[in-house]
Amino acid sequence: MYQTCRLNKDLNVTYKSNISTYLNPNYIYLNGSLIDDLTQGSSVYKDSIVTKDPVCFSSVSGSIYAVKEKQIIIKNDFMENYEAPKRASKYAKYTDQIIFKLLQTYHFSNPQIIEELAKSPHTILINGIDDVPYVNTRTYLLNNLSEIILETCEILNTTIKPEEFILTLKNTDAETIAFYNDHVGSFPFIQYRYLNDEYPLGYKEILCNKLSLEEANTVLITIEELLEINEIIKRLRPLSEIYLSIIIPSGKSFILKTKLYTNLNDIITEFNLPKDQIYYLNNLLLKQTIDPFNYLIDNTTKALYILPPQEDKPLPCINCGICYTSCPFQINPLDPEEIKKCRRCGLCTYNCPAHISLGGDSRAQ
């Protein structure tokens, strides 16, 4: 029912083998209103709540440097002080209710997952596939944080007790497949599903359809969300660091681990990233550009593409219908009513031979 497709990957993108880290910003910037207990100059612990609307935890320890309208700036003291020392919890005694409570307390970034887990789902489906073009974060995490990933799978399996527990991998990732196959004996409850490198597999209905799973009875959790769950239920702390793919053609791409609420400008300076190029956010198909000197990393930041300015001048529509036939959700992007249901995968714009900005393309809105 839902069609997927292989994308042409014309850019020469290869990743550095080692992860890069930027965990010591001088300042972090939180968008929200300061909570009542704090004022300018107040000290803050790492992982303490600093703002309301939305609730944000500080990813560093330090002091409130400035309070602007809807933005709080915290000066890092580089001490990483916590309010109370946290030790790894004895999660072996956890129940599903304790897990739900912890996920709520630490404001797990996808509350819908908590709701779905609470309904005793038939299937827990972990998506380990990077389907967005040139993004490599999940492959990296699967290969380098396997112990944490498998441990968290085990905690969810023993507390939630689904009928089946599935982990999807890309069938071209031979190294990852070989590694996880070696651990089948220790984690026999995990069923592996190997899928083609196709787009878009990140949508729940599409992935469930590919795997013949009942969508309503399945909880879809990404690898990044699984790591956040581990941080919360094992280390009793909120997400404060994230991984993202920095994509620069010609062999310079890398996986970056950085603090939440870091200003991208500081990362550009630290890694000497190009200042005269266009920065695209998360999915190149969506062509969403950002101002790199005024962008804060948050938990929705998944990837940054740094590319030269491109000229793809649109031509007149030739009524070929490719935009409609290539939509996985059977939406006609040229129909003003149907486009309201657009899921922003970007495939219609990607496939249009006339280079017209259609659904998903932020320039079309």
Q: Which residues bind ligand SF4 (CB under 6 A)?
A: 317-323, 327, 329, 331, 333, 342-348, 352-354, 356, 358-360
As a whole number of angstroms, the distance between CA 290 and CA 210 comes to: 33
Q: How far is CA 278 from the centre of its chain?
A: 21
Could you tell me the smallest distance in angstroms from the CB atom of residue 203 to ligand SF4? 9
Could you tell me the smallest distance in angstroms from the CB atom of residue 362 to ligand SF4? 11
- Residue 307 or 322 with smaller CB distance to ligand SF4: 322
- Residue 216 or 317 with smaller CB distance to ligand SF4: 317
Nearest to 176 by CA among 117, 230, 234, 136: 136
As a whole number of angstroms, the distance between CA 336 and CA 215 comes to: 28
Residue type, 325: T
- Residue 212 or 319 with smaller CB distance to ligand SF4: 319
Could you tell me the smallest distance in angstroms from the CB atom of residue 27 to ligand SF4? 37
Pairing relation of β-strands 303-307 and 278-281? Answer: antiparallel
As a whole number of angstroms, the distance between CA 46 and CA 78 comes to: 10
CB distance 169 to 193 below 8 Å: yes
Could you tell me the smallest distance in angstroms from the CB atom of residue 360 to ligand SF4? 3
Could you tell me the smallest distance in angstroms from the CB atom of residue 124 to ligand SF4? 26
Beta bridge mates, 62: 44, 76
- Residue 256 or 327 with smaller CB distance to ligand SF4: 327
Show the DSSP H helices in 262-332 as ranges.
264-270, 322-325
Angle at which helix 96-105 crosses helix 146-160, to 10 degrees, equals 120
| Number of separate helices (H) and strands (E) present in the chain | 10, 17
- Residue 62 or 200 with smaller CB distance to ligand SF4: 200
- Residue 90 or 340 with smaller CB distance to ligand SF4: 340
Could you tell me the smallest distance in angstroms from the CB atom of residue 342 to ligand SF4? 3
